[in-house]
Amino acid sequence: MVVSYSRDKIQDSKQTLKELETTHNNYMKRQEELDNDMRKCKEEFKEFERQDVKYREDFKHVNQKIKKLEDKVEKEEGSHSLWQLKVKVCVNETSYPFVYTFYIRIHQKLKPL
């Protein structure tokens, strides 16, 4: 009787062990899948970080170019305005047709600015 009980207990233990091994293997497979997904996500994140740094540097560079161009336009607008004022004074003070014609040509070219 004791032997029979021991055999039944061993059988039950073996069955429980098989179930636990199956469960453990399923968890291990899932863990491996998650590890692979994590590794893939880390690689993608590194690539996105590199792109982010590149885009930020490009954006900064473009903003610097825009600022330079705006400053240049502002400076040139100021010099054109001063130059136009000098030409107007010259035209008003003289009645030479050449100066007036020159003023008209320059004024037409500067008008789009």
- pLDDT-derived band at 18, boundaries 50, 70, 90: very high
Q: Once rounded to an integer, what is the mean pLDDT over residues 22-48?
A: 96
Please tell me whether residue 113 adopts helix, strand or coil conformation: coil
Calculate the dihedral angle through the C-alpha atoms of 58, 64, 65, 67, rounding to the nearest 10 degrees.
150
Per-residue confidence band for 92, with pLDDT thresholds at 50, 70 and 90: low
Distances (CA, A) of 3 to 9, 10, 11, 13, 14: 10, 10, 12, 15, 16
DSSP 34: H
**Domain span at 73:** 2-110
Whole-number pLDDT of residue 111: 60
3-state SS class at 32: helix
What total number of domains does the chain contain?
1
